Structure 1
Amino acid sequence: MTRLITSYDAVTDRLGRSDWLLSSLARFAFAAVLLGYFWSSASTKLGDGLLGLFRPSVGAYGQIFPRAFEAASYDTDQLSLFHWAVALAGTWAEFLLPALIVLGLLTRLAALGMIGFVTVQSLTDLFGHGGIAHVQTLGRWFDRVPDGLILDQRALWMILLIILVLKGAGPLSLDRLLRNVLSARPVAQPQ
């Protein structure tokens, strides 16, 4: 029995030292499952033409501020500078943060930003769009049905992002490349 436990410990100790694999797989899963989702969502928020990068679409306001937009009779001119700034920042974040995660650049910061983004997105879906009143949207934990949009799916998104915050991007990343380049540079000595 001691031999079996020793063998088991040897294998699990090696697995415990494979943080690089966990980080790499988390970034791969994010790219495979969520990158397209976020970029598609962000593209619906862009206004027309090149200046659309600075003028969110009507749909952006409807998605981000559903109740305020309805109260403004769906007229973007009746919304404030705050609404424009949040819609613009949200659109850019939905493009930039996932790209940074996939590239492995500023990964921990980008994953932390995505945790905030997904939190705000979930609260907007629940309270702004009324999802809190629909069990199918809210979902339930420990109910044998893993298809609830908010509690089930977004819990898994958060775990993926938390792994990246805690473990970083892994070896196949721009973070690692930059760290290696910076550590290889000679340090200037004061004269």
Structure 2
Amino acid sequence: MNALISLHNSVFERLERAEWLLPTLARLVFVAVLFIYYWNSATLKIDGSIFSPSAGAFGQMFPKAAEEALYNVEALTGFQRLVIFAGTVAEFVLPVLILIGLLTRLAALGTIGFVFVQTVVDVTGHGAKLGTLFDTSIGLIDERVMWIFLLIVIAVKGAGPLSLDRLLSRKSA
């Protein structure tokens, strides 16, 4: 039994000392799970260019106003255009920053804020059920808590060794 405990302690003490492992895996999981999700969402919000919001963007971000305007983007207010533009830019830029490991902690914090706003819009505008923790049959909360936890790991641990953050920190030292 002592040999098993020794083996266990030896393996997991090495993993604890592997400072590169957690941030690298967190970024890889983000890219595998959320990068394409956000990229696809952003591309649905533009109609030819980043400055031309689509009816889909109007419907996604301001569902009640879009329905009242019959999804006519000409009815967008200046504020709505600004929000759609900022949200679309965030959906393109923040995941790319996390992918390449540049300003990674700030990008992770920005994405956490984006997830909160996205969740509020989903619940208040689209009627999605927030649900409760540990009840995966309905609701967004379990999914969004996992996303936020992943992003917290990135915000706390940084980008890891395979990143522009690391490369730039070595050049400035």
Q: Considering the TM-score relative to the shorter chain, is it more than 0.5?
A: yes
The structure-2 alpha-carbon separation of the partners of 1:67 and 1:57, relative to structure 1 and needing over 3 Å to count, comes to: same
**CA RMSD in angstroms, aligned pairs only:** 2.1
Specify the SS of the correspondent of 1:19: coil
Taking structure 1 as reference, are residues 157 and 148 closer, same or farther at Cα in structure 2, changes over 3 Å only? farther
Alignment partners' CA distance in 1, 2:109 and 2:28: 17
Match of 1:74 in 2: 71
Note closer, same or farther for the CA distance 1:16–1:102 as it changes in structure 2 (3 Å cut): same
Aligned residue number for residue 142 of structure 1: 134
Deviations 1:52-77 (A, max 9, x none): 21111111111011112223343333
Matched-pair contact (CA < 8 Å) for 1:61–1:69: yes
In structure 1, the partner of 2:162 is 172
- 1:140 deviates by 3.8
State the identity %: 52
Separation in 1, partners of 2:108, 2:147: 10
* Residue of structure 2 equivalent to 1:20: 20
**What does residue range 25-104 of structure 1 map to in structure 2 within 5 Å?**
25-48=25-48, 52-104=49-101
SS in 1 for 2:159: coil
Distance 1:57 1:119 in 2: 23
TM-score normalised by L of structure 2: 0.89
Which of the residues 116, 135, 145 maps onto 1:155?
145
Query: What's 2:104 paired with?
Result: 107
Listed as ranges, the gaps of 5+ residues in structure 1 are 133-137, 184-191
Query: Once the 2 structures are TM-superposed, how far is the Cα of residue 148 of structure 1 from its aligned partner?
Result: 4.6
